[in-house]
Amino acid sequence: MRRLLTIATALAVTATPLSLSAAETYRSSQADFRLETVASDLEHPWSIAFLPNGEQLVTERAGRLRLIRDGQLLEEPVAGVPEVAATGQGGLLDILLHPDFQQNRLLFLSYAHRTSEGMTTRVARAEYRDQALQDVRVIFEALPRSGVSRHFAGRMVIPADGHLYVAVGDRGERDRAQDINDDAGAVHRITLEGDAPDSNPFHGQNGANTLFTLGNRNIQGMTLHPDTGEIWSHEHGPRGGDEVNVIEAGTNYGWPVITYGINYSGTPITDQTHKEGMAQPLHYWDPSIAPSGMAFYTGDDFPQWQGDLFVGALKMQKLVRLELDGREITGEEDLLTESGRRIRSVAMGPDGHLWLLTDESDGQVLRILPAN
């Protein structure tokens, strides 16, 4: 069921700091919490991966992969990162561990890449050993390339089917999202070796072998539901029209034919918000919050948050908590609204804590902990 929850909605509550003397401690409608700074001095961190030994790997959009060991950010970046086009919205983006990482040490990186034919979103697989990447191999490349430097998307998940799902943005060329012969504006499904499964919904249709969905503008958040295993995502919309969706095979999410947003200039994109054969969002924001990163809360520190969906916001500089009843979004609360941080990534750590990355030149890795 679609829900439009605005600032004026009674369900929306804003969390504020408890006091100036308790900076980094906040009160929400359900729990008091504090922010712990794990690491700082990161240049626009984009994604985090949690290693089995308790260390963390963090991507910096500038093209570096950094290691946090025992709560300390190591000065020397991880060696062997592939060549990255760090321009515009491009750079080193998502990082995801192979399901058997502890045995094979494999991980996946998404990033923007440039050649004389333009820029695109790529995915590389590599082996991580001794603070270096080895046997780096490109396993996916969205085609055709384009001269623009925005809307790369890049979020990745591996659900229970064991395949890698990769989001690719429309590259700022919106009509590409409705073309099944174009890799832009879509979610792609590949094997962990980079092949296209025969079961993909458009397999064999004019080369659209990896295409899983279409009509996606710029997915900046993608995560797995802890109970159903479904892939939940959100679209970074234009001026308004940010969406929460569940990713399903062969689904057309409508961009730019239908949208709740408008052009940044204020002119209409389309006069349609519904069309037969195109999915409606579970939830949308108007005005836009510029969402990025998302995770379901599954920890024990805040029982009231169990099963809630957390979404970071760049423009609005906040963390949004969404309450769910199945797929229906029944409540919304704004957190960290006065912290002044652009939240790029949200992740549940194996320690049971919610982790955040801030999109700043002096970016931080943060953890949410109980106030007491």
Find the CATH number of the domain harbouring 334. Answer: 2.120.10.30
Strand order in the sheet with 16-17: 16-17, 25-27, 32-42, 363-370, 354-358, 343-348
Judge contact between 95 and 125, C-beta under 8 A: no
Count how many domains the chain has. 1
Please report which confidence band the pLDDT of residue 19 belongs to, taking 50, 70 and 90 as the band edges: very low
Residue tagged active-site, from 44, 98, 151, 353: 151
Q: What's the sign of the alpha-carbon dihedral 124, 129, 133, 134?
A: negative
Strand order in the sheet with 56-60: 45-50, 56-60, 64-69, 72-73
Note the pLDDT tens digit of each residue in 244-290. Answer: 999 999 999 999 999 999 999 999 999 999 999 999 999 999 999 99
Task: Give the pTM.
Answer: 0.94
Distance of CA 181 to the CA centre of its chain: 25
Give kind and range of the element (H or E) at residue 334: strand 328-335
Give kind and range of the element (H or E) at residue 337: none
> 44 catalytic, yes or no?
no
Note the pLDDT tens digit of each residue in 303-347. Answer: 999 999 999 999 999 999 999 999 999 999 999 999 999 999 999
Q: What is the mean pLDDT of residues 173-193?
A: 98
Please report which confidence band the pLDDT of residue 20 belongs to, taking 50, 70 and 90 as the band edges: very low
Judge contact between 295 and 346, C-beta under 8 A: yes
Judge contact between 15 and 337, C-beta under 8 A: yes
What are the structure tokens assigned to 185, written together?
Answer: 């504006």
Domain that residue 58 falls in: 3-370
